[in-house]
Amino acid sequence: MSAIRLSPAAAILRHGVLVLTSAFILVPFVWMVSLSLKSPGEIFRATFSVLPAQFYGVDNYAKAITSVPLPGYMGNGLLVCALILAAQILVCAPAAYALAKLKFWGRDFIFAMVLVGLLLPHQVLSLPLFILCYKLGILNTYLALVIPYVVSPFGIFLFRQFFRKIPDDIVHAARLDGLTELAIVWKIMVPMALPAVIAFSIFSVVAHWNDLFWPLIAVRDGHLMPAPLGIMAFKNEEAGNDYGPLMAASTLVVAPLLIAFLAAQKWFVEGMTGGSVK
């Protein structure tokens, strides 16, 4: 299929909209990095400048790392994200395979419930999840940060759409070779859907790395706090917020996500668009 050629005016308009939208999205991040390099006096100066008049970055970043155990908080976030992602793939891949390739009574109804789950924000379920964690006795543990996210409607939907692209003949051939349904999932379907796995992994890690609402409810001990909850230590109601180290800590927390996305953006785009055409 040949690419659609736009008129010069349409191309300029399209690129103008993209540039303006990108600039609008990037401004908060640029401002965050800018504040992390400025002194406290310059941050509250009336005049506007992106580049610091006095470079204060070393002090701000050193304070961000040393005044609170930020590396420990980031380690907690990495552990929690890894556990959630592993559990989600273990649950979502077989469920998506069943909805995509197996025929059984109630399949369409179950998929409809998955779509309903996509419409529900996680905050709606916070109270019943809190009660469940309390009944299980796992509050203020790593399990309290992991269990509520094990089942991901988005993961099931994304994997199902990708699995539907895989020809049924491959599944039938695997069954003739003696593979069980679970073996087909892990040895054939998941490797063939690697772009979808990478795309979902990025979505999952970004969502749970940045999550503040549920950890604020589920944990109290400092050694369990993930990074978004940990950097709240820079908020002081009496002395005011220490914006320089706060922005430095925020930059350090965001940087791994940015690096990971730039490294995997090719597979991310392929995974997000791969299930759109059957």
Q: Do residues 64 and 70 touch, judged by C-beta distance below 8 A?
A: yes
Amino acid 189: pLDDT: 93
Mean pLDDT of the chain: 86
Q: Is the pLDDT of residue 87 over 90?
A: yes
Q: Is the pLDDT of residue 267 over 80?
A: no
Least confident of 42-46, 63-67, 249-253, 264-268: 264-268
pLDDT tens by residue, 188-245: 999 998 888 988 998 899 899 999 899 999 998 888 999 888 887 777 654 456 788 8
User: CA 124, 127, 132: angle at the middle one, nearest 5?
Assistant: 125
Integer Cα distance of 46 and 42 in angstroms: 9
Amino acid 232: pLDDT: 79
The average pLDDT across 156-163 equals 92
The average pLDDT across 145-171 equals 92
Closest of 33, 28, 62 to residue 251, by C-alpha: 33
Residue type at position 31? W
Q: Which residues touch 52 (CB under 8 Å, ≥6 apart)? A: 34, 37, 38, 39, 42
Integer Cα distance of 202 and 198 in angstroms: 6
Amino acid 4: pLDDT: 65
278 pLDDT band (50/70/90 cuts)? very low
Which H/E stretch holds residue 131? helix 126-136
The average pLDDT across 110-135 equals 90
Q: Is the pLDDT of residue 269 over 70?
A: no
Q: Is the pLDDT of residue 64 over 90?
A: no
121 pLDDT band (50/70/90 cuts)? confident
Q: Which domains does the chain possess?
A: 8-63 (no CATH), 65-274 (1.10.3720.10)
Amino acid 1: pLDDT: 45
